[in-house]
Amino acid sequence: MTSFAIGVDLGGTNLRVAAVDTRGVILEKITTGTEVARPRDQVLDEMCVAISGLAAKFGKSKHLAGIGVGIPGIIDMHSGMLHESPNLPGWQDYPVRSELERRLGTKVILENDANSACMGEKWLGAGSESDHLCMLTLGTGVGGGLVLDGKIWHGMTGMAGELGHTTVDPQGPQCGCGNRGCLEQYASATAIKRMAMEAIEIGEAPQLAYAMNRNPEFSAKMVYELAEQGDEPAQQIFRKAGQALGVVLASLVNTFNMRVYVIGGGVSSAWKAFAPTMLEEVQKRSFVYVATNAADLSVANQGNHAPAKTRSSGWPTLITQAQLGSDAGLIGAARLPMLANGVHLPEQEVKTIVK
């Protein structure tokens, strides 16, 4: 009997629940809207109904390996409590894991959403050829995930991988986390929008001002559309985001010396607008990147780099865009119970199927 698992990805705007088989194929996906203002218990109800429905449906012919749930925020892995979650008001200090287990009558693996996405990309996306992966997810906030030796690095209480709160500029904008100048203040959708508003405010961005006035739902996406159309102030904003990403990635490369660093989340679709500056910055700032990439200046941006004058190790560092799109978190969440319960295909077989 083959196995499947259920993965859940609870975002600020969507709740998604899927049945995923051991090859990573999504058998069925249920998507519902979760407005931020929606009551917690209603969201949990819907989640449990969707989980139970998929479990019953696919459980007839397959073995259910388990349930993995990715949620935004800081989770205490010992208690299964959600410590803080700016995007889920009313969930703070709520015992999410035990509440889900009580409702479903079975064990649930609770995980931070960026960690889940990192696991998804590690399994079937940008990190599938490596044992380790470092991921930044650029969404409403900036999340981070670390997979080391095939496992999510949780740290002692599950709060590790908060890479969005790495300091870019100690004197930079105040961050909700208490710090100043966090990566999140430069590279999140919220930050892109804030920087656009600042440019409009000082009268330096007529196109952005026009777009904002025309549309009350002015967003980072619109800033990107203008950047794509060649608007210099909009492009400047993405270069600033790229610069901040480059500063942080340079330090991450010097810290981990991993093979692959992946950028996901909604804002990562603006790759073309921020990646050239980001990679330039890493090249300038990380001697480990330079030493590993001397002869092989990889991915997406070769034109901008003159080959550095150092010796390559033959193991280039890759900084690349996520491959699974918005499904990364869902697929990664489903992968967690498979790993925990030893239900997975041999690597060889998985890779053959995926390609």
Cα–Cα distance measured from residue 84 to residue 39, given in angstroms and rounded to the nearest whole number:
16
Q: Give 9 or 162: the residue with its C-beta nearer to a copy of itself.
A: 162
Tell me which of 65, 88, 152, 160 binds a copy of itself, using CB under 8 A: 160
62 touching a copy of itself, by CB under 8 A = no
Q: What is the DSSP string of 132-197?
A: -EEEEEESSSEEEEEEETTEE--TTTS----GGGSBS-TTS-B-TTS-BSBTHHHHSHHHHHHHHH
Tell me which of 67, 195, 275, 290 binds a copy of itself, using CB under 8 A: 290
Whether residue 237 contacts residue 246, with contact meaning beta carbons closer than 8 Å, is answered with no
Among 344, 352, 274, 321, which Cα is nearest to 125's? 321
Tell me which of 162, 184, 231, 327 binds a copy of itself, using CB under 8 A: 162
298 touching a copy of itself, by CB under 8 A = no
Show the binding pattern over residues 80-99: x = contacts a copy of itself (CB under 8 A), - = does not. ---xx--------x------
**Residues in 246-275 at the binding interface with a copy of itself, rule: CB under 8 A:** 247, 250-251, 254-259
Q: Can you read off the two tokens belonging to residue 217? A: 């739902």
Tell me how far, at minimum, the Cβ of 8 lies from a copy of itself, in Å. Answer: 23
The partner residues of 260 in beta bridges, in order of sequence, read: 318
List phi, psi (to 5°) of 293.
Answer: -110, 10
**In this chain, which stretch among 44-52, 170-178, 294-302, 322-330 interacts with a copy of itself, using CB under 8 A?**
170-178
Q: Give 98 or 207: the residue with its C-beta nearer to a copy of itself.
A: 98
165 touching a copy of itself, by CB under 8 A = yes
Tell me how far, at minimum, the Cβ of 32 lies from a copy of itself, in Å. Answer: 31
Cα–Cα distance measured from residue 26 to residue 4, given in angstroms and rounded to the nearest whole number:
10
Q: Which residue has the tokens 């990889």?
A: 298
Strands 63-71 and 3-10: parallel
**In this chain, which stretch among 74-82, 113-121, 324-332, 343-351 interacts with a copy of itself, using CB under 8 A?**
74-82
Cα–Cα distance measured from residue 187 to residue 199, given in angstroms and rounded to the nearest whole number:
16
133 touching a copy of itself, by CB under 8 A = no
Cα–Cα distance measured from residue 235 to residue 146, given in angstroms and rounded to the nearest whole number:
30
305 touching a copy of itself, by CB under 8 A = no
129 touching a copy of itself, by CB under 8 A = no
169 touching a copy of itself, by CB under 8 A = yes
306 touching a copy of itself, by CB under 8 A = no
Tell me which of 57, 102, 107, 284 binds a copy of itself, using CB under 8 A: 284
Tell me how far, at minimum, the Cβ of 353 lies from a copy of itself, in Å. Answer: 26
Whether residue 110 contacts residue 307, with contact meaning beta carbons closer than 8 Å, is answered with no
180 touching a copy of itself, by CB under 8 A = yes
Among 274, 275, 284, which Cα is nearest to 306's? 284
Q: Give 41 or 93: the residue with its C-beta nearer to a copy of itself.
A: 93
Residue 299 has what DSSP assignment? T
102 touching a copy of itself, by CB under 8 A = no
Among 203, 205, 161, 164, which Cα is nearest to 183's? 164
**Contacts to a copy of itself by CB under 8 A:** 74, 76, 78, 83-84, 93, 144, 146, 148-149, 153-163, 165-170, 177-180, 243, 247, 250-251, 254-259, 284-288, 290-292, 311, 313, 315
